[in-house]
Amino acid sequence: MGTLMLAKSATRIAILGISTINSNNARRINVSEMHSRGDSLLVVGSPFGLLSPFHFFNSIISVGAVANCLPPYSVRSSLLMADIHCLPGMEGAPVFDKNSCLVGLLMPPLRQKGSNIEVQLVIPWDAICTGWNNKKLEGIGGDPSELPDKNADTKTMELRRFVSSKVNKINQYCISPSSIREAISAVVLVTVGESSWASGIILNKRGLVLTNAHLLEPWRFGRTSPSGVQTSFAGEYLNARENKSLQPQQCKFSNEDAVKHEVSLFNLGFKREKRISVRLDHAERQMWCNACVAFISKGPLDVALLQMEKVPIELNTIRPEFVCPTAGSSVYVVGHGLFGPRSGLCSSLSSGVVSKVVQIPSTQLSGTVEADNMDMPVMLQTTAAVHPGASGGILVNPHGLMVGIITSNAKHGAGSTIPHLNFSIPCKSLETIFTYSEIGEPAILEQLDKLNEVLSSVWALAPSSSPFIDNPPEKTKEEKVLEFSKFLSDKQATLKSSTDLKELFKHKMPSKI
């Protein structure tokens, strides 16, 4: 579905008049005109309102951010995608920004067939007013392209200003997107042949791109934990028609003789006949560039490096933060989740917190030397939404610094993914890659090819292999028989009389199951 069709299908609204309204009980506020990815959003809604208005009228205040804007590169957006939690019945609720200005109205969510994935949609107030004026001109035979000044329409201005008053303390939920816009521009779309797509991160001005190894070698990463929880890779597949939109476009390149990274000798397993393309999203256009494999990790970390064959002049790089964030820290995920090359959309943003930092002793990492036997962070879990296609995307902090690379999210044994439980490799574990991006010495990457059972067990979600759990030794058959005999004798001693039996059922047996 194209962006224009998506916008038209999601913006069906009705405008109602209230005869009892007056200036005494109406709250007048300003309207937010411009919208960017990462802008703060607050929704005030009434879920299940008909069930009990006393309980549910304006009972939900949900905070989130703008995930994407449609159409891309437009000064004024016709439709917004929102990273925000909403409940049934909140459609039509007002949406506000960090300055308590009205952004627009919440629309029915976009749902993916065959899954529980939802994308919240918001129609901006400016688009509503434009459509309102168009409809009025069509009714009197006017030309919709000749729009009157909206400021001259008193009723339209009243619609702009009349909103709910539930935004007095919205600034306490405010985020600052200006600091992460530079990080957003460092995220690229990566396609492999005609079959799959994911995200990538630009590391340096010479066109080195970091992504996930499972995009190139998916057969190596089938992970399932003993409890039935699986890791689902946030990559996506293309159909045959996608190839029409993947032709490289003309763009300005730097000197072709510029220094580039040598192709590593450790990536012989990749099928070279598949074409790899990288799409860069700049201020007003998208540029496609061919790329080749520079490195694929053979170790437990799901990372790979691509080298752009021609390096564009306009290239924004990521800035890493090697100090690992703590649990509860705010983070943002930026990647090309759900919407692939055919959609034409830029990368989407979602927000959340670090829910868990998995660490192991540095002595468990081969080739790693840390003073005082410090614990090394090897995995980050976050609550930010991660969808298929976001593999290789960035995890950034509020200062716009990269703290990790997205690899996968959790998946139920039945097959459904859990978007808000996902896993990232912290930058602390990627210092070798950032060192290589600076000096370009392939031998540095040999450390990532070393096998490590402890690290592999962490990423396999295998608690039995955890170095922190002291598993008791396996009991022999004779010991198990003696233990069971002791259990029977203890129970027999407990049930000597009917009184003891009653006491057992009273205190030992639960009343409900």
| Structure confidence by residue, pLDDT tens digits, 57-92 | 878 888 899 999 888 877 778 889 999 988 888 888
Q: What is the DSSP letter of 36?
A: -
- What integer pLDDT is reported at residue 245 of this predicted model? 36
Q: Phi first, then psi: give them for residue 9, nearest 5 degrees.
A: -75, -20
Q: How does residue 332 score in pLDDT terms, banded at 50, 70 and 90?
A: very high
Give the per-residue SS3 of 339-373.
CCHHHCCCCEEEEEEEEEEEEEEHHHCCCCCCHHH
Cα–Cα nearest to 444, from 453, 435, 452, 455: 435
Give φ, ψ of 47 to 5 degrees. -70, 145
pLDDT digits (tens, 9 = 90+) for 137-168: 454 344 444 444 444 444 444 444 443 344 44
pLDDT of residue 326: 94
Read off φ and ψ for residue 222, nearest 5 degrees.
Answer: -95, 100
Say what the pLDDT of residue 25 is: 62
Q: How far is it, in rounded angstroms, from Cα 180 to Cα 185? A: 9
Averaged pLDDT score across all residues of the chain: 75
- In the chain, DSSP finds a helix count (H) and a strand count (E) of 9, 22
Helix (H) or strand (E) holding 276: strand 276-281
Sorted by sequence, the CB contacts under 8 Å of residue 437 that are 6+ apart come out as: 203, 204, 208, 261
User: Which pTM was predicted?
Assistant: 0.73
Residue 480, token pair as written in the block: 């198990």
The predicted model gives 407-435 an average pLDDT of: 88
Say what the pLDDT of residue 95 is. 92
**Rounded to an integer, what distance in angstroms lies between the CA atom of residue 203 and that of residue 208?**
6
| 217, 319, 338 from 83: Cα distances, Å | 31, 24, 13
SS3 annotation, 380-436 = EEECCCCCCCCCCCEEECCCCCEEEEEEEEEECCCCCEEEEEEEEEEHHHHHHHHHH
Q: Write out the DSSP string of 303-344.
A: -EEEEESS-BSS-----B--SPPPTT-EEEEEE--S--GGG-
Residues assigned a catalytic role: 214, 302, 391
Distances (CA, A) of 355 to 38, 327, 422, 424: 20, 5, 10, 12
Cα separation, 338 vs 414, in Å, equals: 20
Q: How confident is the model at residue 313 (pLDDT cuts 50, 70, 90)?
A: confident
Express the helix, strand and coil content of the chain in percent, nearest 5 each: 25, 30, 45
Please tell me the predicted confidence (pLDDT) of residue 510.
47
